[in-house]
Amino acid sequence: MNRRKLALPIAAVGALALVLSGCSGGSGSGSDDPDAEFEFWSFTGIGQKDSVDRYLEEMPDAKVKLSEVGSTTETATALTAALAGGRVPDLVMIQNDDLPKFVENPGNFVDLRTLGGDDVGDDYLDWAVDAATADDGSLIGIPTDVGGLSFAYRADLFEAAGLPTDPAEVAQMWSSWDDFIAMGEKYTAATGQPFVDNVETSVFFSTVNQVTEKYYSPDGELIFDTNPQVEEAFDVAVRAYDAGISANIPAWSSGWAPGKANGAFAVTTAPSWILSGLKNDAPETEGDWRIASIPGVGGNWGGSVIAIPARADNKAAAWQYIETMLSPEGQTEHFAQTGTFPAAEAALESDEVKGYTDPFFGDSPIGATISESVLQFNSFYNGPDTSAIGGALLNALVDMQAGNVAPADAWETGVASAKAAIGG
């Protein structure tokens, strides 16, 4: 197998030595040996072991201790505790929603420009790099992946309802969110069944990630409660609920996986990272699903970076993993193995990614659809409370679907909950 690595300028080798000598270790004296055993904290359920195994094939002298800590939130919580004085890993994965709180304190991490040069982020989507860049210019993480948005829909159920089934025709029919709701009403009228699984993730999370400003202004001011773009995104979800097209089945609830298999709904959100879960939850529906672009412009939900804590013992070994596995070529190969969608622009433009299809989804143009969604994504500033605010607004929609909040009161309820969550 060919050795694929990020470009490492000769000048960066000296910088690496300075970083290694200038930072205290996590539990020992540290090592500048790139083949020293390093500890890598990852999330569960994302197939990171496959990436580590491929790395060890390319670097047979390397040694990796992979710890799948837990969910993205649990991993961030464990990292927070470690940074406060505990033993830190040499390499850690941070999910994008949790990233802002760590970017606020860049001194806790190695500035990766000191290892890979000032242009180390040039290979990746600008907005993905910006999310990992602190106010002082420090780059604390290299983007590993993104979560380009698409919708998955049941072509067999669409056909029974007299709707088009070809992804391009479906995308054209629901090109706007008003069109999406109208299409849902046609489906429900024809079948007597709900169209979409829920409005909080499949609608709100899609629309709110198509804005140009979200919960914060570009200079970091909280604006979620006064931003008309956020309120409009929320209103689209309320209107979808009022139209009677939602099955009111929350994502990851007990009814969600069975609903994918039994036709309880015909449409669900499909960021790139969720496609394998759909296959696992409803294997008997192979060939019935299709993938199409979402209404409006593209979007993104998810993604992560890999960072090296400042007190890590084995920074050289951690950096060797980054430069080997996160290059555009490495991300393209990882996508082919796991379906994890690349954050490197060259990978997004590659034939391997753009030409990707899957017979489970009727050979829909998955790669081209999600690549376009990511490339159209409007970047916006995410602050330290982005996750808490989004969760509060989402929960207000869940409560609305459960009958606990009137649609007319859902927005104010969500805003009040968000303010309480962040102490505002």
Q: What single string gives the DSSP state of each residue in 44-71?
A: SSS-HHHHHHHHHHH-TT--EEEEEEES
pLDDT bin (cut points 50, 70, 90) of residue 13 is very low
Residue pLDDT, tens place only, 210-231: 999 999 999 899 999 999 999 9
Non-local CB neighbours of 45 within 8 Å, separated by 6+ positions: none
pLDDT bin (cut points 50, 70, 90) of residue 110 is very high
Residue reference for tokens 């990882």: 334
pLDDT bin (cut points 50, 70, 90) of residue 333 is confident
What percentage of residues in the chain have a pLDDT greater than 90? 79
Q: Which residues pair with 96 in a beta bridge?
A: none
Residue pLDDT, tens place only, 395-408: 999 999 999 999 99
Cα–Cα distance for residue pair 311/415, rounded to 1 Å: 39
The CATH homologous superfamily for domain 150-297+361-421 is: Periplasmic binding protein-like II (3.40.190.10)
Q: First vs last Cα of the chain: how many Å apart?
A: 54
Residue pLDDT, tens place only, 242-291: 999 999 999 999 999 999 999 999 999 999 888 988 999 999 999 999 99
Span 10-146+302-348 CATH architecture? 3-Layer(aba) Sandwich (3.40)
- pLDDT value, residue 284: 97
Cα dihedral sign, 318-302-398-216: positive
169 vs 339 pLDDT, higher one: 169
Question: 26 pLDDT exceeds 70?
Answer: no
96 vs 9 pLDDT, higher one: 96
Q: What single string gives the DSSP state of each residue in 143-154?
A: EEEEEE--EEEE
- pLDDT value, residue 44: 86
- For residue 326, which of 58, 33, 25 has the smallest C-alpha distance? 58
Non-local CB neighbours of 254 within 8 Å, separated by 6+ positions: none
pLDDT bin (cut points 50, 70, 90) of residue 184 is very high
Question: 1 pLDDT exceeds 50?
Answer: no
Q: Report angle CA 145, 197, 358 to the nearest 5 degrees.
A: 45
Cα–Cα distance for residue pair 241/78, rounded to 1 Å: 38
Distance of CA 154 to the CA centre of its chain: 24
Phi/psi region, residue 296 (left: phi>0; alpha: psi -120 to 50; beta: rest), is left
- pLDDT value, residue 5: 41
- pLDDT value, residue 340: 85
> What pTM, to 2 d.p., does this model score?
0.86
Q: In the chain, which residues fall in CATH 3.40.190.10?
A: 10-146+302-348, 150-297+361-421
Residue 354: CB atoms within 10 Å: 17
Residue pLDDT, tens place only, 349-365: 999 999 999 999 999 99
- pLDDT value, residue 377: 87
Cα–Cα distance for residue pair 355/164, rounded to 1 Å: 23
Question: 17 pLDDT exceeds 80?
Answer: no
What percentage of residues in the chain have a pLDDT greater than 70? 93
Q: What is the mean pLDDT of the chain?
A: 90
pLDDT bin (cut points 50, 70, 90) of residue 14 is very low
- pLDDT value, residue 37: 96
